[in-house]
Structure 1
Amino acid sequence: MWDILKVKKAGLFAGGVLFGTAGVKLLSSKDAKKFYTNCTAAVLRAKDSLMKTATTVQENAGDILAEAQQINEERAAKEAAEAEIVEETEENTGAEDFKEEEV
């Protein structure tokens, strides 16, 4: 007694073998090889374009990073100079206040 499940599995297996055999013949034809070659060439062109874009982005990112570091260094130097001026002012003001208290 053949069970429906066994018949279905056997049918699927036979169909797969038939499809695989026909697929191999179809995929190895001259037209298919030409199609694969053209697709591969298109992928390689896309890769080259993508690599050029990536290189440009990397260069721009490097420039942006360098400029940002320069801005931060200038800002830190300016803040340090302002802090030094404030300290000197406080020292001078503190000394005058002290002299006033002595009087």
Structure 2
Amino acid sequence: MLDVDKMKKIGLFAGGVLFGTAGVKVLASKDAKRFYINCLAAGLRAKDCVMTTATNIQENAEDILAEAKAINDERCKEEVFEDESAPEEAFAEETAPLEA
């Protein structure tokens, strides 16, 4: 005679097979396919939106970088100009005649 444990295992196996077969049929139905297509289309739209945003951020970052480089170049030129004029002013002060 069959034991209760064996009957339970056989019942679970049969239920799993039945549930799996029904699941495959549901997943392969036309409604499910339309759902998959709509999800994929939404994913593609989201990808386009993210890529557009990423491109805008990259362009803004490039503009910021270019402006920062321009500021640094201007400061560098000002420092070079100040360094060149400083020795001449100091020399002019040293060679000026003393007033009595």
Pairwise TM-score range, normalised by the shorter structure: 0.7 to 0.9
Aligned twin of 1:41: 41
Q: Residues 16, 72 of structure 1: CA spacing in aligned structure 2 closer, same or farther, 3 A cutoff?
A: farther
Task: Tell me the distance in 2 between the aligned counterparts of 1:73 and 1:53.
Answer: 30
Counterpart AA for 2:38? N
Give the direction of change, closer, same or farther, for the CA distance of 1:86–1:31 in structure 2 (3 Å limit): same
- Kindly indicate which of the two structures has a greater share of residues assigned to helix: 1
Paired residue for 2:95?
96
- Cα offset, 1:20, TM superposition: 3.1
For 1:37 and 1:82, the matched residues in 2 are separated by 67
Deviation sequence 1:12-67 (CA, Å, 0-9, x none): x7355444333222111111000000010011111111111111111111111111
Match of 1:63 in 2: 63
CA spacing shift, 1:28–1:92, aligned 2, 3 Å = same
Unaligned runs of 5+ in 1: none
Moved more, 80-89 or 27-36: 80-89
- 1-side partners of 2:49 and 2:26: how far apart? 32
What percent identity do the matched residue pairs reach? 56
Q: Distance in 1 between matches of 2:75 and 2:32?
A: 63
Is the alpha carbon distance of 1:18 and 1:83 closer, same or farther for their aligned partners in structure 2, counting shifts above 3 Å?
Answer: farther
TM-score calculated relative to the size of structure 1? 0.71
Instruction: Quote the Cα distance in structure 1 between the aligned partners of 2:89 and 2:63.
Output: 39
Greater Cα offset, 18-27 or 79-88: 18-27
